[in-house]
């Protein structure tokens, strides 16, 4: 090498080694580091192999211990003997001779078949020529060929007969040991299958596995690591080799091979190089995997109804909370568009409440009662007064408080009112001093301190006809006379007082005009009209009333109709970069879920000028609401996955199949609100029994009597209140005609019936048997008494059956026993799998139970 040359052998050697090292690194990286699933699959394979081996060992042991080994030995000895006979010279000669004959016959059969095909071909040709040319000559050929075909066919039949005769002869020689072999095989079958399973597990190669959903363009490779997700074996409790939790709900209805994983779980289904990548927990992956209950938010993308959906309990709770708090009043939330405002009408609130109460309520509703739905707006006392002034100004010009002192109360009257309060079961919906309020599905205000809130006059008019003040209220109209009303009102104002309440204005004090003006502006700013009907603001939903007043015009007129809060219809897809974390930027993680939770936890923590009020939700509550909200995404899914809601089905079917109330009954229902507690079809609540098929289920006489005077079938707090539907019979005189009972009866008879339930029990032809006694025997045998009560004996989980024969129809009992969940999926009664005969016996027995 010349001096001064730029290159030396050492440099070359170094670079070569470096290159070699790099190549080695690339191979290691790609084969090992970027394929972590190889180790998981290997582990799974080993676990499964061990499990299968253990199963085989157990089966083998059992096989041996059951004397099967001796059996097998005996069979093998027999087989050997049979084979020896077969191998003996005489038999062998006979056998080879027969097989030789069979070969000859099969050869001639094949030849015959070939000739037959040829002749048929020629016949078709001749037929074609004859049809075209109508030549006698062709017809002759046809006839000749026809003859040949017949001859050949006959020949074939002869040959086939001889063949089967020969086969029979051969069979006689071989049948015996073939039968023994089959017996050995069947004896071994279980073990062989297990061995095959072990072998196929050993053969399984380590590879990337995926579920390809063609129409969605998805390739989910999750099963590459989660090898045992669908397995029937519980091989490991450690990720990623566990089984899917509650697979009987989720996987049974959504087989992995059809639905993949990421429709529900999100994440990056294609990634296989690291758990973080696969789960989408990396920067810029917009759909990080949902964990735990949060996964339920994906149910929303396909299921129309999530409330009551099995496995979707968390979001179901969230959905109920959204309805309870009326989030849709200020936000556009898909699926919640047509619901009524949650707050009461404020048109004449000035005639209803005390001024001081209004001010303290506006500042913090929870100081009045803990379960108040209205959120805290963080108003100053001055602001609260302005709003109260504005609301009072709709009906008057002064501030005033009305307080009832002890000397104002007519205590005798109040005592009468107490009885009415109890009979009317006000406590089913309303809580008072920590009692009642069991019907949690509908919200009724806590009445513990209502005496300090409202005026006597208002209360009287309200109970008399709630719809007059608030047309959309859920409160039923009880048919009280004026005297009864006066007694009830007296009881309420005397009993439910806030002893700490101090009124500020016992005398009317005039209100200031500027305060009223300011109150109006505040009502507009915070959008009270989202939840309450405010006089003059019924149609108002725009986002910036101040701007509009200042003459600002909006480019798109649609903007004027937006709700006061942000639209939430695709909040689940909103890029994290677009969320304004503001002041909490450094305090909470930057992801969608943390943002939504923080918004619900402390709505104004992001910036100072935010308007969303504080609902003071618990962590679990805000978690479940968040999970619903994050379910509203832009993501598309195949139409075949969609499960429409009941409402959509109803709309589609034009309401023919569903129970929509009609006629006189509808009017009556609006008055007494049957559906506050009962359910008919998809309408109403689950507090009281479902009435969808009540017309077929209940006996008319019993129903009529029950409507007149409800008696106890269910525990006390679930007992139906007395609506005074029939003035002759009720303890309290109502204003109603007994014809109303007929209205209910007619509706039940015409609408709440199903062909599913037979009018009569099927006849049984078993003469001598006493069916009623047989039914009683079954009743005792199956332990029905554990839950049901007859007379004084039995449990109280299920309804009391002492008078079931006077209440239910036989057909209903007969159908119900077949599948107790048929008419109500939530029913707890187990399915016993009775035969039709048993169901008839039981029905006959139960129908014999009557109280007079």
Partner 1 sequence: MKMFDNIKQSLIWKSMFRRDYKDTPRNRALAIFGNVFMHLHPVKVREGAVKLRYTWGMGGISLFSFIILTVTGFLLMFYYRPSVDQAYWDIKDLEFQVPYGIFLRSLHRWAGHFMVIVVWLHMFRVFMTGSYKSPRQFNWAIGVILLVLTMLLSFTGYLLPWDQLGLWAIEVGTNMAAGTPLLGFEGPFSEYLGITPYNDVRFAILGGSTVGGNALLRSYVWHCVALPLVAVVLMAVHFWRVRKDGGISGPHS
Asked whether the beta carbons of 491 and 421 are under 8 A apart, the reply is yes
| Two structure tokens written together for 686 | 């689950």
Question: Tokens 């049809």, residue?
Answer: 131
CA distance 448 to 446: 6
CA distance 219 to 382: 60
Report the residue number, 218 or 520, with the smaller CB distance to partner 1. 218
Let me know if 37 is exposed, middle or buried by CB neighbors in 10 A (0-12, 13-18, 19+).
buried
Q: Which of 15, 17, 26, 165 binds partner 1 (CB under 8 A)?
A: 26
Report the residue number, 240 or 530, with the smaller CB distance to partner 1. 240
Count of other CB atoms within 10 angstroms of residue 795: 12
Provide the minimum distance between the beta carbon of 212 and partner 1 in the complex, in angstroms, as a whole number.
11
Report the residue number, 566 or 576, with the smaller CB distance to partner 1. 576
Sign of CA dihedral 754, 757, 758, 759: negative
Q: Which of 9, 67, 90, 217 binds partner 1 (CB under 8 A)?
A: 217
Report the residue number, 162 or 277, with the smaller CB distance to partner 1. 277
Provide the minimum distance between the beta carbon of 30 and partner 1 in the complex, in angstroms, as a whole number.
5
CA distance 807 to 10: 104
Report the residue number, 207 or 370, with the smaller CB distance to partner 1. 207
Provide the minimum distance between the beta carbon of 639 and partner 1 in the complex, in angstroms, as a whole number.
18
Q: Using the rule CB under 8 A, is 45 a contact of partner 1? A: no
Instruction: Report the candidate in 711, 708, 697, 843 with the shortest Cα–Cα distance to residue 779.
Output: 843
Report the residue number, 219 or 251, with the smaller CB distance to partner 1. 219
Report the residue number, 271 or 688, with the smaller CB distance to partner 1. 271
Report the residue number, 30 or 836, with the smaller CB distance to partner 1. 30
Instruction: Report the candidate in 223, 254, 256 with the shortest Cα–Cα distance to residue 241.
Output: 223
Q: Using the rule CB under 8 A, is 34 a contact of partner 1? A: yes
Report the residue number, 510 or 575, with the smaller CB distance to partner 1. 575
Provide the minimum distance between the beta carbon of 40 and partner 1 in the complex, in angstroms, as a whole number.
15
Provide the minimum distance between the beta carbon of 26 and partner 1 in the complex, in angstroms, as a whole number.
5
Q: Which of 219, 372, 560, 717 binds partner 1 (CB under 8 A)?
A: 219
Report the residue number, 274 or 658, with the smaller CB distance to partner 1. 274
Contact flags string 456-495 toward partner 1, x per CB under 8 A: ----------------------------------------
Provide the minimum distance between the beta carbon of 174 and partner 1 in the complex, in angstroms, as a whole number.
54
Quote the radius of gyration of the chain (alpha carbons, Å). 41
Run of H or E including 655: none
Provide the minimum distance between the beta carbon of 277 and partner 1 in the complex, in angstroms, as a whole number.
8
| Adjacent-strand bridge partners of 790 | 793
Provide the minimum distance between the beta carbon of 471 and partner 1 in the complex, in angstroms, as a whole number.
51
| Two structure tokens written together for 835 | 């035969």
Report the residue number, 16 or 175, with the smaller CB distance to partner 1. 16
Cis? peptide before 240, omega within 30° of 0? yes
Question: Tokens 């990396």, residue?
Answer: 282
Provide the minimum distance between the beta carbon of 3 and partner 1 in the complex, in angstroms, as a whole number.
13
Provide the minimum distance between the beta carbon of 31 and partner 1 in the complex, in angstroms, as a whole number.
8
CA distance 414 to 540: 43
Bridging pattern class, strands 683-684 and 679-680? antiparallel
In 155-228, the DSSP E strands lie at: 211-213, 218-220
Provide the minimum distance between the beta carbon of 294 and partner 1 in the complex, in angstroms, as a whole number.
25
Provide the minimum distance between the beta carbon of 224 and partner 1 in the complex, in angstroms, as a whole number.
10
From 28-36, 442-450, 673-681, 844-852, span contacting partner 1 (CB under 8 A): 28-36
Let me know if 411 is exposed, middle or buried by CB neighbors in 10 A (0-12, 13-18, 19+).
exposed
Question: Three-class SS of residue 614?
Answer: strand
Q: Using the rule CB under 8 A, is 634 a contact of partner 1? A: no
Provide the minimum distance between the beta carbon of 813 and partner 1 in the complex, in angstroms, as a whole number.
58
Q: Using the rule CB under 8 A, is 602 a contact of partner 1? A: no
Run of H or E including 824: none
| Adjacent-strand bridge partners of 793 | 790
Count of other CB atoms within 10 angstroms of residue 59: 15
Q: Using the rule CB under 8 A, is 29 a contact of partner 1? A: yes
From 27-35, 107-115, 296-304, 471-479, span contacting partner 1 (CB under 8 A): 27-35
CA distance 756 to 361: 53
Provide the minimum distance between the beta carbon of 268 and partner 1 in the complex, in angstroms, as a whole number.
8
Report the residue number, 90 or 575, with the smaller CB distance to partner 1. 575
Please provide residue 691's backbone torsions phi and psi, each rounded to the nearest 5 degrees: -105, 10
**Binding residues for partner 1 restricted to 248-287, rule: CB under 8 A:** 268, 270-273, 277, 284
Contact partners, residue 358, CB within 8 Å, separation at least 6? 349, 384, 388, 391, 392
Contact flags string 177-216 toward partner 1, x per CB under 8 A: -------------------------------x--------
Polymer length of the chain: 852
Bridging pattern class, strands 679-680 and 509-510? unpaired
Please provide residue 164's backbone torsions phi and psi, each rounded to the nearest 5 degrees: -70, -30
Run of H or E including 653: none
Report the residue number, 4 or 510, with the smaller CB distance to partner 1. 4
Q: Using the rule CB under 8 A, is 30 a contact of partner 1? A: yes
CA distance 847 to 761: 11
Provide the minimum distance between the beta carbon of 595 and partner 1 in the complex, in angstroms, as a whole number.
21
Provide the minimum distance between the beta carbon of 24 and partner 1 in the complex, in angstroms, as a whole number.
13
Q: Using the rule CB under 8 A, is 81 a contact of partner 1? A: no
From 24-32, 84-92, 557-565, 825-833, span contacting partner 1 (CB under 8 A): 24-32
Q: Using the rule CB under 8 A, is 221 a contact of partner 1? A: yes
Q: Using the rule CB under 8 A, is 226 a contact of partner 1? A: no
Q: Using the rule CB under 8 A, is 1 a contact of partner 1? A: no
Provide the minimum distance between the beta carbon of 274 and partner 1 in the complex, in angstroms, as a whole number.
10
Instruction: Report the candidate in 566, 567, 564 with the shortest Cα–Cα distance to residue 525.
Output: 564
Q: Which of 1, 6, 405, 550 binds partner 1 (CB under 8 A)?
A: 6
Tell me, by CB under 8 A, how many residues bind partner 1.
Answer: 16
From 22-30, 105-113, 183-191, 763-771, span contacting partner 1 (CB under 8 A): 22-30
Contact partners, residue 354, CB within 8 Å, separation at least 6? 400, 401, 402, 403, 452, 453, 454, 455, 503
CA distance 697 to 690: 11
Report the residue number, 220 or 690, with the smaller CB distance to partner 1. 220
Q: Using the rule CB under 8 A, is 9 a contact of partner 1? A: no
**Binding residues for partner 1 restricted to 284-323, rule: CB under 8 A:** 284
Give the single-character DSSP code of 263.
H
Report the residue number, 221 or 597, with the smaller CB distance to partner 1. 221
From 25-33, 180-188, 532-540, 779-787, span contacting partner 1 (CB under 8 A): 25-33
Report the residue number, 7 or 652, with the smaller CB distance to partner 1. 7
Provide the minimum distance between the beta carbon of 152 and partner 1 in the complex, in angstroms, as a whole number.
59
Run of H or E including 454: none
Question: Tokens 């995926």, residue?
Answer: 210
Question: Tokens 């996987």, residue?
Answer: 251
Q: Using the rule CB under 8 A, is 578 a contact of partner 1? A: no
Question: Which three-class secondary structure string do you get for 573-591?
Answer: HCCHHHCCCHHHCCCCCCC
Q: What proportions of the chain, in percent to the nearest 5, are helix, strand and coil?
A: 55, 5, 40
Residues that bind partner 1 (CB under 8 A): 6, 26, 29-30, 34, 208, 217, 219, 221, 268, 270-273, 277, 284
């Amino acid at each position: 090498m010349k001096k001064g040359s730029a290159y030396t052998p050492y440099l070359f050697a170094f670079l070569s080694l470096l290159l070699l090292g790099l190549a080695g690194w690339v191979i290691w990286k790609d084969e090992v580091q970027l394929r972590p699933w190889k180790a998981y699959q290997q582990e799974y394979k080993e676990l499964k192999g061990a499990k299968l081996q253990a199963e085989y060992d157990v089966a083998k042991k059992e096989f041996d211990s059951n004397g099967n080994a001796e059996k097998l030995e005996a069979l093998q000895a027999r087989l050997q003997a049979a084979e020896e006979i077969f191998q003996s010279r005489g038999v062998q000669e006979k056998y080879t001779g027969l097989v030789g004959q069979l070969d000859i016959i099969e050869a001639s059969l094949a030849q015959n078949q070939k000739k037959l095909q040829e002749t048929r071909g020629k016949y078709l040709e001749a037929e074609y020529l004859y049809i075209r040319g109508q030549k006698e000559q062709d017809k002759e050929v046809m006839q000749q060929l026809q003859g040949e075909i017949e001859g050949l066919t006959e020949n074939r039949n002869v040959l086939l007969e001889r063949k089967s005769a020969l086969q029979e002869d051969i069979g006689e020689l071989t049948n015996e040991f073939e039968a023994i072999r089959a017996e050995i095989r069947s004896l071994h079958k279980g073990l062989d299958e297990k061995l095959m399973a072990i072998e196929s597990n050993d053969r399984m190669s380590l590879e990337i596995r995926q579920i390809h959903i063609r129409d969605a363009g998805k390739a989910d490779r999750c099963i590459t690591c989660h090898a045992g997700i669908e397995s029937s074996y519980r091989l490991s409790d450690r990720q990623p080799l566990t089984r899917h939790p509650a697979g009987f709900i989720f996987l049974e209805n959504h087989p992995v091979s059809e639905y993949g994983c990421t429709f529900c779980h999100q994440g990056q289904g294609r990634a296989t190089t690291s758990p973080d990548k696969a789960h989408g927990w990396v920067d810029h992956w917009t759909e990080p995997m949902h964990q735990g209950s949060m996964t339920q938010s994906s149910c929303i993308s396909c299921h129309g109804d999530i409330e009551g959906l099995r496995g979707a309990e968390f979001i179901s709770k969230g959905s109920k909370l959204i309805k309870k708090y009326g989030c849709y009043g200020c936000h556009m939330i898909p699926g919640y568009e047509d619901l009524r405002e949650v707050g009461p009408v404020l048109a004449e609130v000035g005639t209803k409440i005390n001024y001081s109460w209004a001010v303290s309520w506006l500042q913090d509703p929870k100081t009045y009662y803990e379960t108040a739905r209205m959120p805290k707006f963080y108003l100053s006392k001055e602001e609260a007064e302005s709003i109260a002034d504005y609301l009072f100004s709709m009906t008057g010009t002064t501030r005033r408080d009305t307080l009832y002192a002890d000397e104002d109360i007519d205590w005798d009257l109040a005592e009468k009112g107490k009885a009415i309060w109890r009979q009317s079961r006000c406590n089913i919906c309303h809580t008072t001093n920590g009692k009642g309020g069991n019907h949690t599905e509908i919200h009724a205000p806590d009445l513990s301190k209502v005496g300090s809130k409202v005026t006597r006059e208002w209360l009287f008019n309200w109970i008399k006809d709630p719809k007059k003040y608030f047309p959309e209220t859920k409160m039923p109209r009880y048919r009280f006379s004026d005297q009864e009303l006066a007694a009830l009102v007296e009881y309420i104002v005397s009993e439910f007082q806030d002893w700490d309440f101090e009124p500020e204005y016992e005398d009317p004090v005039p209100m200031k005009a500027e305060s009223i003006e300011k109150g109006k502006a505040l009502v507009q700013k915070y959008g009270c009209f989202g939840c309450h009907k405010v006089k003059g603001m019924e149609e108002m939903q725009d986002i910036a009333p101040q701007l509009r007043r200042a003459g600002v015009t909006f480019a798109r007129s649609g903007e004027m109709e937006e709700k006061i809060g942000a639209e939430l219809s695709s909040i689940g897809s909103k890029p994290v970069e677009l969320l304004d974390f503001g002041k909490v930027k450094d305090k909470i993680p930057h992801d969608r879920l943390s943002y939504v939770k923080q918004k619900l936890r402390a709505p104004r923590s992001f910036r100072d000028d935010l308007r969303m009020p504080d609902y003071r939700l618990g962590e679990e509550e805000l978690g479940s609401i968040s999970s619903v909200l994050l379910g509203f995404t832009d993501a598309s899914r195949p139409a075949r996955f969609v499960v429409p809601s009941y409402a959509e089905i109803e709309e589609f079917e034009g309401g023919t199949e569903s129970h929509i109330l009609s006629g006189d009954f509808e009017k009556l229902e609006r008055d007494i609100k049957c559906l506050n507690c009962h359910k008919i079809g998809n309408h109403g609540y689950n507090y009281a029994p479902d009435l969808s098929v009540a017309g077929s289920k209940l006996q008319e006489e019993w129903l009529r009597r029950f409507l007149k005077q409800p008696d106890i079938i269910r525990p006390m707090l679930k007992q139906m209140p007395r609506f005074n539907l029939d003035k002759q019979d009720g303890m309290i005189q109502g204003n109603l005609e007994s014809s109303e009972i007929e209205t209910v009866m007619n509706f039940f008879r015409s609408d709440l019936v199903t062909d599913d339930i037979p009018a009569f029990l099927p006849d049984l032809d078993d003469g001598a048997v006493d069916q009623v006694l047989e039914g009683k025997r079954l009743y005792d045998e199956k332990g029905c008494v554990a839950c049901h009560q007859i007379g004084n004996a039995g449990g109280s989980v299920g309804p009391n059956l002492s008078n079931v024969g006077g209440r239910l129809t036989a057909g209903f009992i007969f159908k119900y026993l077949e599948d107790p969940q048929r008419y109500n999926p939530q029913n707890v009664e187990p399915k016993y799998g009775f035969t039709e005969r048993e169901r008839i016996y039981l029905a006959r027995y139960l129908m014999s139970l009557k109280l007079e």
